[in-house]
């Protein structure tokens, strides 16, 4: 009797260990990501938030100043507003152009049957080029004396302008250089186009629906989640614009390309005021977060999610 009881007790303990192991296994698999998120994302994020409440020089004593960094930024620093306005202007032009051009390219590649792999690679390749290499290429293209762009204009009798030296043209030059890397967005939209069921187009064609209506009532609604994703990532990319402007124009001429990210960069690594730079970073974070939430809220009116429809149908049937 004692041996039977001992065997039962050992069996229960073994089952508990097996059950505990099964419960632990998923957490062990995701633990690298959790640790990486804590140490390399959430940790630095909270650290920068703490820094923003201090007068934090690179060398020297740190002094708690509360919200003084934010107050100075909003009320005493005109460069903050100027750099923010330049970034907003850049985003207002870059974001729609990036999405529309990516969509048109994706649409073209979706219908191309000859050497489609080559064209996809050719259009995607510029997006994997490093920022420094990209700036080197575009500095050659934009050069006033020996640039490729002015040479092409000279062939049709146009005297090319000083693209990087004119305050009105410098930001246009940066927008064009930034659009060079739209291959990633194009690839996302192309994947979305290929996921649209062909039966929808076949049924519309049989019903006599013209091509433009198929685009308006089938393609765009079915591509909605992809468009909203690319819209938000394009906004984030626009506000983080630094490399091209820093290396191509250094914020000039006359501060016409002095982006908000460059303002933060200069405060951190030129003036060594890490607390002020951290406060600027959090202002950028709040702006991007607010815009993203606004777009998500707005998208509920026109983005089609198949899962939501199924859930609604299920609730109605219940």
Walk along the chain (318 residues) and give the pLDDT tens digit of each residue: 555 666 677 777 777 777 777 778 888 888 889 999 999 989 999 999 999 999 988 888 888 998 999 999 999 889 999 999 999 999 999 999 999 999 999 998 888 877 778 888 888 888 887 778 888 888 888 888 788 888 888 888 888 888 888 888 899 999 988 888 788 889 899 998 988 888 888 898 998 888 889 888 888 888 888 899 999 999 999 998 888 888 888 887 888 899 999 999 999 999 899 999 999 999 999 999 999 999 888 877 767 666 655 555 555 555
pLDDT score for 255: 86
The DSSP-derived string for 155-218 is HTT-----TTT-HHHHHHHHHHHHHTTTHHHHHHHHHHHHTS-HHHHHHHHHTT--HHHHIIII
Provide the 3-class DSSP secondary structure of residue 55.
Answer: strand
pLDDT at 212: 87
- Residue (of 147, 156, 158, 231) closest to 189 by Cα position: 231
User: What is the pLDDT at residue 211?
Assistant: 85
CA 291 – CA 286 distance, rounded (Å): 9
- The H or E element containing residue 30 is helix 2-37
Which pair of tokens denotes residue 44?
């630095």
CA distance 72 to 75: 5
In 10 A of CB 20, how many CB atoms? 10
**pLDDT at residue 306 in the model:** 63
Q: For position 301, what pLDDT does the model report? A: 72
Burial level of 56, CB count in 10 A (0-12/13-18/19+)? Answer: buried
Q: Kindly state the tokens that stand for 222.
A: 């079915």
Question: In terms of C-beta distances under 8 Å and separation of at least 24 residues, what long-range contacts does 240-245 make, across chains too?
Answer: 241/87, 241/90, 241/94, 241/174, 241/178, 243/131, 243/132, 243/134, 243/135, 244/131, 244/134, 244/135, 244/138, 244/174, 244/177, 244/178, 245/174
Do 256 and 170 contact (CB within 8 A), yes or no?
A: yes
Beta bridge partners of 273: 57
Where is 63: in which H helix or E strand?
A: strand 63-64
Are the CB atoms for 146 and 162 separated by under 8 Å? no
């Amino acid at each position: 009797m004692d041996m039977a009881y001992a065997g039962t007790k050992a069996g229960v303990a073994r089952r508990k260990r097996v059950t505990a192991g099964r419960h632990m296994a998923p957490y062990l698999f995701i633990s690298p990501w959790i640790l990486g998120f804590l140490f390399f994302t959430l940790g630095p994020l909270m650290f920068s938030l703490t820094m923003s409440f201090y007068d934090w020089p690179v060398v020297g004593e740190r002094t708690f100043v509360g919200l003084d960094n934010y107050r100075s930024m909003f009320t005493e620093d005109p460069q903050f507003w100027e750099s923010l306005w330049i970034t907003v202007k850049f985003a207002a032009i870059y974001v729609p152009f990036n999405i529309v051009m990516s969509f048109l390219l994706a649409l073209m590649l979706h219908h191309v049957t000859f050497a489609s792999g080559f064209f996809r690679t050719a259009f995607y390749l510029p997006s994997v080029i490093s920022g420094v290499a990209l700036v080197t290429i575009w500095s050659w293209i934009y050069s006033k004396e020996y640039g490729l762009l002015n040479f092409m204009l000279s062939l049709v009798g146009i005297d090319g302008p000083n693209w990087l030296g004119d305050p009105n043209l410098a930001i246009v030059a940066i927008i064009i250089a930034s659009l060079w890397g739209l291959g990633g967005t194009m690839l996302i939209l192309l994947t979305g186009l290929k996921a649209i069921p062909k039966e929808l187009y076949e049924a519309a064609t049989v019903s006599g629906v013209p091509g433009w209506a198929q685009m308006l009532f089938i393609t765009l609604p079915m591509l909605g989640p992809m468009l909203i994703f690319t819209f938000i990532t394009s906004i984030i990319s626009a506000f983080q614009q630094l490399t091209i402007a820093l290396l191509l124009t250094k914020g000039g001429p006359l501060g016409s390309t002095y982006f908000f990210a460059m303002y933060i960069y200069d405060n951190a690594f030129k003036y060594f005021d890490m607390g002020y730079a951290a406060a600027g970073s959090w202002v950028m974070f709040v702006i991007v977060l607010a815009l993203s939430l606004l777009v998500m809220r707005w998208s509920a009116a026109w983005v089609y999610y198949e899962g939501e429809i199924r859930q609604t149908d299920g609730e109605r049937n219940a």
